A and B are shown apart, each in its own frame.
Chain A
Amino acid sequence: MLEVREVVKTYDGRAVVNRASFEVRPGEIFALLGPNGAGKTTLIRMITDILKPDSGTIMLDGRPVGGGLKHEISYLPEERGLYRRVPVLDVLTYYGRLRGLAGRAARAEAATLLERVGLEDWMLKQVQALSKGMQQKVQLCTALIGSPRLMILDEPFTGLDPLNVQLLEEVLRERRAAGATVLLSTHQMNKVEEQCDRALMINRGHMVLYGEVRDLKRRYADHALMVRGGRLPARVPGVRVVETVNGELKLTLEPEAQPRDVLRSLVDQGVELESFSHSVMPLEDIFIKVVREGLGLDQGQSGPPTADEPAAHATAQARGAAR
């Protein structure tokens, strides 16, 4: 679907995006993560053909972005606005027509979308009459109208109440089921864990994490087990430390110990277990850890990780930073 290869963008001699290479697969929800100032917005602007990269290529279905493919992409920027003195329906119809819909079809789809997000009673009102949350939903509709194949949403959850967050999640799932691809840029890591298939994290223009979300979490998982159940014996073979975390017991294992051996040992010793799972680090903790370790990154020090070896690359960078 979207293929970004060795893309570089430099401002005043500073690489804001440094050799970014990744791909977004058709029908997936892809997370673009990174701390503030990491280069996410610059990268998105290059994908949307608002900015041109200094070098590298950005292809959509094998063709360079821009030109005839512009209507295939929609973008909900983080800093967004609407024409304030125009009726809601007209705003959406305008966006729909720009994405290639005929006037009547654009109007019909705009009305359907407004109904979907619960704004059917407001479609003839001027945008300035809407509350901030309502305007946020209209802005979301501007990204949905015309059924673009790639939707780039920058912090779409900001400013929405829990009900509307749920609504947005449902809409994203619907679009995904209809074949659309979503590139989601957000700082809400729980949403990434819930919604996204794969993720890319960039820090100071460099790619630091890239891959399946569950793989990333697994790679950053502690060598530990989370256990809920009866009283543990004083010593469990293979377990180095036992601590209580949120009502569960966290068993940090010896480096060589295997989880299945520890489980067998517990069962053999007659411990009644209610639950047993790997200890997984939340994505937010991974984010903080990676960003903190990556603060010492030097530009040009590292190349981009491939999808096959993101963790190794990130670890190498972390080591470099520690040095």
Chain B
Amino acid sequence: MDFGIGERGQALRAEVRAFLKEHLTDELAERCHRTGVAHDDAFVRAMHEAGLLALGWPEEWGGRPCDPLGLSVVEEELSKAEAPTYGVSTTHMVARAILRCGNDRQRAEIIPRAVRGEILIVLGFTEPECGSDLAAARTRAVRDGDEWVINGSKMFTTNAHIGDYVFLLARTGTTSKHEGLTVFLVPADQPGIEAQAVRTISGERTNITYYRDARVHDDWRIGDVGGGWRVLGEALQEEHSVGFGASMLRLLEAAEGWARTARGNSGRPRITDPDVRERLGRCAAEAEVSLLLQRRAAAMAGQGVVPVAEGPMAKLFSSEALTRAAEDLFDLLGPDALRGHLSPGAPEGGRVEHALRFSLGTTIYGGTSEIQRGIIARRGLGLPR
């Protein structure tokens, strides 16, 4: 057994940290915070120029070799710094699905541009009435000659207002719930698509999108007609090591920073207080467990094993632990915890307050905790449905 990230991991980590130091400026972080948009063209271009976007892609597509464990180290650093990479992650997730399920023309058109950070692809999966039950999609695509005509609505399509394409799950048949679905890559810049802002309590801007006779050429159907559920499965399967261990470290560092400087009635730093230590100790332990579960899932993927239950375990544990830690450390700071990022004198720039807001979504998007528990119970423990 070896719990280190190795020399390669250390080198990658140093490389990402150096990159972030140069390119994730205070000004950019502030802009992302104010707009709620975790995407920035210049930042993505800089990532490309630094060779970070190519990580993990096959060399024939301009990629730079990197195993899943190395990728998770990179992901940890980006996530801990709250770098604006959400657009990159959705774009690359779709590009990987196209690599597996698309045709040659689609690959040639999309993958090089995704690897260079020249396009932004957003996700049109869930709908106002679907939640985590993605196969309940009702947005309909009807064949019209060489084209498909799309009508319906999609929820939580983050970056839809600036995206180039929507990776859209649509109903094309009525045979059965799962077999009547098809996936398309729909050009976003057309009159039939409207994106309306939806604000979340973490300040993020996401969107509800409306499709009114939107059109997509059949050339941009990904996979077979009726094969959408399989394509979606391929796309989501890439999300092995999704987790929030790095977000916990960010929160922990903020609370530690506060505890070292804030003083109690005795005049001594609060970090000398046993109660403060106990809370920080628990948060540190659960952050460690989160990262271990994430890296295990990544290591399994690196060995060609699909982490069927292990991936959901990482997502479930880390998001629930982040939510608990945010509640607990918010309490720890006392009334000052209320001061938000924009309030002068907010402890640690309001990071704990922000973590409380941010943590809520993590147990919901990407499959709620209940969905993850169901997968672990049935596929991990073999419990009956």
Question: Are A and B part of the same complex?
Answer: no
